[in-house]
């Protein structure tokens, strides 16, 4: 039981220390403080300037199950891999 109390006391001391550091930073103007008005004024979505000039365009495409399963089987990023495969195809073929 004494071990659990020491662990709890240590965790509490670390929390208090971090809290005091945060308060100290805020009082010096170093911390990031947001007022309720600032929070409400934020726009939803990506911040300005975070969109590439050649941003991808959302679309719907129908793929055969075997193609889709093969790309998905390789894990996350399957949509990017399909995009790369289509770009590679464009290098060697003339679009109709």
Q: What's the pLDDT at 60?
A: 94
Q: What's the pLDDT at 53?
A: 73
Nearest to 56 by CA among 75, 74, 83: 83
Mean pLDDT value of segment 77-86? 94
Whole-number average pLDDT of the chain: 84
Q: What's the pLDDT at 89?
A: 93
**What is each CA distance from 8 to 2, 5, 14, 18, 21, in whole angstroms?**
10, 5, 10, 15, 20
- In total, the chain counts a number of residues equal to 96
pLDDT beyond 70 at 1:
no
Give the residue ranges of DSSP H helices in the chain. 2-27, 36-41, 65-73, 78-92
Task: Please write the tens of the pLDDT for every residue from 20-54.
Answer: 988 888 778 776 767 788 777 777 776 666 667 77
Contact 52, 58 (CB under 8 A): no
pLDDT beyond 60 at 59:
yes
Q: What's the pLDDT at 16?
A: 93
């Amino acid at each position: 039981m004494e071990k659990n109390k020491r662990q709890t006391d240590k965790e509490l001391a670390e929390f208090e220390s971090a809290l005091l550091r945060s308060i100290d930073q805020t009082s010096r103007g170093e911390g990031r403080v947001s007022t309720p008005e600032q929070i409400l004024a934020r726009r939803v979505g990506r911040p300005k300037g975070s969109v590439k000039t050649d941003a991808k365009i959302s679309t719907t495409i129908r793929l055969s199950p075997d193609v889709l399963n093969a790309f998905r089987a390789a894990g996350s990023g399957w949509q990017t891999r399909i995009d790369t495969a289509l770009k590679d195809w464009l290098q060697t073929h003339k679009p109709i």
